[in-house]
Structure 1
């Protein structure tokens, strides 16, 4: 299983396993109409994800042709738009998934009434350049939140980027829609680091240096058995299949550094 699939599994667990059984409506019909009107003007692609029903409503303007989407609305039986993800650069997609997980954790530290005041922004490469379109601007906003903090509706927007300057990374950021203020990465990287214990982070940092379990045990003055137990815990907590994937994911999330 790749890091990308592991992160998609984590997104599934995070969003679909929320507590929705509180008798509140997600008001999806009114949001569907608003999103359809927006796409008709902007000619972008919008994905309205219903986590409660595990469905997505995709509204495609003329830009939808980049993803092989016709100029109309479609419904898919998944809260995640894999039909679009398949057209995006795999490394950039990993960063996008991590940004969304960090976004979710960041919002959990503020009142749920303010969730809709924040959004993510990233610039993602297409897997293949199509009609001179190389980069896509991507945004995620959570439209509907229940009183218990569960997020029921999310909106993802895809539009062509006018910034064609090559550089590494997706320029991912979280910002306040009302003020334009960008949230410092340190605020949500702290949330990402809470996934692992301090000792597990130390073990993973040593793994990233290419150290074997015996070397890590000597470096940390612990037994090889304890190192191996930490490595297994890391794999389970990060929902990856090996420590190499864990290192790659942790580097992108800012949990460890080179």
Structure 2
């Protein structure tokens, strides 16, 4: 499992969930949405239950040509590894990082408005003996608890006009049609000083070197380093640097 995928799964399944009386009814309704999408578009719809670490995959004719059954339930993961196996590693990493950014963005959105947004990107399915196939991939969170925890997510996949170009992922407010400026949001994740320190870490400099260069104490550098890990939701400096580079923070 990619480190980004492991981090994302830990975030999604480790939320503070509340037991609600109508959960079974909501789950069945959401399953109906996923099934209807797959049937109407011939695409793939994946309903992820983050509270119970389960996913439900519904496949139209497009998904079935990839060898997916019309319906499958996976009780061991919220992620659709059967689908991920068709996506190149580099694109899969970018997909996971986009959802990480999406999750962080939604922390600033009221619970009732979270379902209004989705994260969209184009990935390329690899098929043996055939050219890569462009696929539009969208992630949305269907249902949130009153405390803001995201319970049900829906990921969809549908063929997209053929392109070999890398298309920038984006977050869209589906109620207003507006696209979220990720660069402006990302820039608020870290302070100016933290970005400065992360940039020096990316160059291989240690805490003592950074402290001398910025005329601050080593303890201050250490505190900033820990804050950077917390804000980017990573466990080590290498992962922080990778996220910082991919999010264009540095």
Q: In terms of mean alpha carbon deviation, does 126-135 or 95-104 score higher?
A: 126-135
Counterpart of 2:9? 12
Counterpart of 2:247? 253
Counterpart of 2:106? 107
**8 Å Cα contact 2:124-2:132 kept in structure 1:** no
- Residue 54 of structure 1: how far off its partner (Å): 0.9
Counterpart of 1:75? 73
Residues 1:204 and 2:198 are matched in the alignment: yes
Per the alignment, in what secondary structure is the counterpart of residue 132 of structure 1? strand
Which deviations, in whole Å up to 9, do the C-alpha atoms of 1:212-236 show, x marking residues without a partner?
5553232112455765675566557
Counterpart of 2:213? 219
**8 Å Cα contact 1:234-1:246 kept in structure 2:** yes
Aligned mates of 2:176, 2:234 — CA distance in 1: 37
Structure 1 unaligned spans of 5+: none
Cα 1:6–1:200 shift into 2, 3 Å: farther
Cα 1:16–1:243 shift into 2, 3 Å: same
**8 Å Cα contact 1:102-1:188 kept in structure 2:** no
Counterpart of 2:89? 90
**8 Å Cα contact 2:115-2:140 kept in structure 1:** yes
**8 Å Cα contact 1:6-1:239 kept in structure 2:** no
Aligned mates of 1:30, 1:146 — CA distance in 2: 16
Structure 2 unaligned spans of 5+: none
Which deviations, in whole Å up to 9, do the C-alpha atoms of 1:136-192 show, x marking residues without a partner?
21101111122221211110001222140424xx4110112133211111343145x
Per the alignment, in what secondary structure is the counterpart of residue 156 of structure 2? strand
Aligned mates of 2:87, 2:194 — CA distance in 1: 32
Aligned mates of 1:14, 1:214 — CA distance in 2: 32
Counterpart of 1:60? 59
Aligned mates of 1:127, 1:242 — CA distance in 2: 32
